[in-house]
Homo-oligomer: A and B are copies of this chain.
Amino acid sequence: MIDVAGFSFNKLVILGVGLIGGSLARGLRERGDVAGARAVIGVGRTPASIARALELGVVDAAVALSDDAALQAALAGADYVLLAAPVAQTQPLLERIAPFLEASTIVTDAGSTKSDVVAAARAALGERVGQFVPGHPIAGRESSGADAALPDLYEGRNVVLCALPDNPPDVVERVAAMWRATGATVHEMTPEQHDRVLASVSHLPHLLSFALVEQILNSPDAALKFSFAAGGFRDFTRIAASSPEMWRDICVANRAALLDELDAYTAVLARLRAAVEAADGAALEAVFARSRVARTEWQEQRANVSAAADPEK
């Protein structure tokens, strides 16, 4: 059993003990009182990832997804199950655990897209979909895997829950309590709202960042260009070192919202291109000045929120 400031559970099963799942495990275990053993069970796709999570002490026990008996034993009496794998695996994972899932177990996920996850959950769980609360902790690093997991990854971060009409309110509240126990702030949105917002401020910037590195790689003087890249390039492309598999899945799963944002972005670029070609400095300066003000205000508000969340920082 683990108790984190009044939020307690006997057993949490995490499917995918990488950065996201591993950070939840570490966040709860290292912030809470741990009594007894085997409170956090990791389920992995590969023997290497399971072994690594155990070796790092991120989980108490680890099980192979392919092992029927072990998976069933892991899920027996589980209070919570977290899916923390690339979003395309949502439906197969839910189908895989469905036969072993007890009615009292609450399932949630950490996927970066939500409309597709809701559809996958309905397809896999059918009438039992009320046990599943779609969620998304908005936190990450460009590193992936259990080695990258941090106990304070969710401290001061936002977690979005997209509660279904099928979810009993106390089930949603218990998932919210789990995330709050890691230091996160929980918000509710519809899946459509979530997907539009994240397409804009997360998925599109990732695509644009990957695209810049790709474009340089395609140019004949790529090596010269990379050798003179400096701080602006460094920050702009930090997210181009993110997991290709995860971002492939996100771009496909959220393609409708992503295409909307990409098309709106391309229209802005076309406007800026015209201003550059016409040497219209005034038009460029107006856009740059507006962006600078908005970006500076965003940073200040973010700093205020962080300071309020943790007055000692």
Contact = CB atoms under 8 A, between A and B. Distances in A.
Interface of A: 88, 138-141, 157-158, 160, 187, 193, 196-198, 200-202, 204-219, 221, 224-226, 228-245, 247-249, 251-252, 255, 258-259, 261-262, 264-266, 268-269, 272-273, 275-277, 279, 281, 284-285, 287-292, 294-296, 298-299, 301-302
A215 B264 contact: yes
B290 A230 contact: no
Closest 8 A/B residue pairs (Cβ): A244-B288, A213-B291, A201-B229, A244-B289, A248-B285, A205-B236, A235-B235, A210-B291
B299 A198 contact: no
B208 A212 contact: yes
A225 B205 contact: no
B138 A228 contact: yes
Contacts of A264: 215, 218-219
A49 B302 CA distance: 30
Given A211-B268, A235-B239, A268-B214, A158 B228 contact: yes
A216 B201 contact: yes
A50 B248 CA distance: 52
Assembly stoichiometry (copies): 2
A247 B245 CA distance: 35
A244 B285 contact: yes
Residue among A215, A266, A289 with max Cβ neighbours from chain B (10 Å): A215
A90 B219 CA distance: 31
B247 A201 contact: no
A221 B207 contact: no
A208 B236 contact: yes
A290 B292 CA distance: 32
Nearest to A217: B294
A187 B138 CA distance: 42
Given A197-B221, A242-B292, A262-B273, A236 B249 contact: no
A249 B273 CA distance: 14
A14 to B, nearest CB: 22
A204 B212 contact: yes
A149 B141 CA distance: 31
Given A141-B231, A244-B292, 14 more contacts: A140-B230, A196-B221, A197-B221, A211-B287, A214-B290, A232-B238, A237-B295, A248-B285, A249-B281, A252-B284, A255-B279, A259-B276, A266-B269, A266-B273
Contacts of A296: 241
A305 B296 CA distance: 32
Given A213-B291, A230-B201, A241 B299 contact: yes
Contact of A200 (B225, B244, B277): B225
Contacts of A245: 285
Residue among A193, A198, A275, A294 with max Cβ neighbours from chain B (10 Å): A294
Contacts of A216: 200-201, 294
Residue among A245, A261, A288 with max Cβ neighbours from chain B (10 Å): A288
